[in-house]
Chains A and B, each alone.
Chain A
């Protein structure tokens, strides 16, 4: 049973370009969470999705960031018109249900560098 798969592992974008980060949850998991880790900081919650639904996007910046988890295929975190401050590690986690009573399994992250 493969774990949470994120790709790419490393992504370099020039300022103003778009970044697309992909996350395939573990088999049988229908809940996906995205977190951002800025340098020298802990992770910060961004968004919680179930299939075709955004449950909580309270941690997402209001502009340029969007996330989806379609019926088929991976979850996508999309950052439009990237800026240097978007450089960070983005982690995806999945769980079979909400983490209460269970654990969320994390991918290896995508390290975004904006140049």
Chain B
């Protein structure tokens, strides 16, 4: 069965520092992968997605993610975080149904001043 693992429940980084959020997936074929961000009390906003092609994808708000098939990973990165990046981040993969998103449990990002 497809699954998504986000190993870090919480991550704390200083403002201006670099960020990497980990995501590992289990899926037999080429996956469609997504990163969403959820600010407190808000809905889900798509940061970026990978369907095919270049394995390094650029998203909004200065985020990028790299698809590594050999490691079954799709880690999210940002070179310099801002206080407004404090939120919860979810990695998701489209399952064999082609429409059902399988979600990780999320990583809460805390920004230290």
Q: Which residues of A contact B (CB under 8 A)?
A: 4, 31, 33, 35, 40-45, 48, 56, 59, 91, 95, 98-101, 103-109
Task: Write out the residue numbers on chain B whose beta carbons fall within 8 Å of the beta carbon of A42.
Answer: 4, 6, 90, 92, 103-106
For B36, what are the chain A residues with a Cβ–Cβ distance below 8 Å? 106
Contact between B43 and A100, CB atoms less than 8 A apart? no
Q: Are A101 and B44 in contact (CB under 8 A)?
A: no
Known pairs A33-B101, A43-B92, A106-B36 / 6 extra A-B pairs, C-beta < 8 Å: A4-B43, A33-B99, A40-B105, A45-B102, A100-B94, A108-B42
Residues of A close to B103: CB separation below 8 A: 35, 42-44
7 interchain pairs (CB within 8 A)?
Answer: A33-B100, A33-B101, A41-B105, A56-B99, A91-B44, A100-B99, A108-B42
| Known contacts A103-B46, A103-B49, A107-B43: A98-B101 contact under CB 8 Å | no
Is B70's CB within 8 Å of the partner chain A? no
Interchain residue pairs A-B with the least CB separation, the first 10: A42-B103, A108-B43, A106-B44, A98-B99, A43-B103, A100-B98, A42-B105, A45-B100, A106-B43, A99-B99
Q: Closest CB-CB distance, B89 to chain A, in whole Å?
A: 11
Counting contact residues on chain B (CB < 8 A from A), the size range is 20 to 34
Residues in B whose Cβ lies below 8 Å from that of A59: 100
Inter-chain contacts of A104 with B (CB < 8 A): 101
B74: chain A residues within 8 A (beta carbon) = none
Chain A residue with the shortest CB-CB distance to B105: A42
When the two chains form the complex, which single residue of A44, A91, A103 contacts B43, counting CB atoms closer than 8 Å? A91
CB proximity of A61 to chain B, nearest CB, Å: 16
In whole angstroms, what is the CA distance A108 to B90 when docked?
15
CA distance A104 to B90 in the complex (A): 14
Contact status A31-B43, CB under 8 Å? no
* Residues of B close to A41: CB separation below 8 A: 105-106
The chain A residue sitting closest to B44, CB to CB, is A106
> A108 to chain B: which residues have CB within 8 Å?
42-43
CB-CB under 8 A from B105, the residues of chain A are 40-42
Whether A56 contacts B100 by the Cβ 8 Å rule is: yes
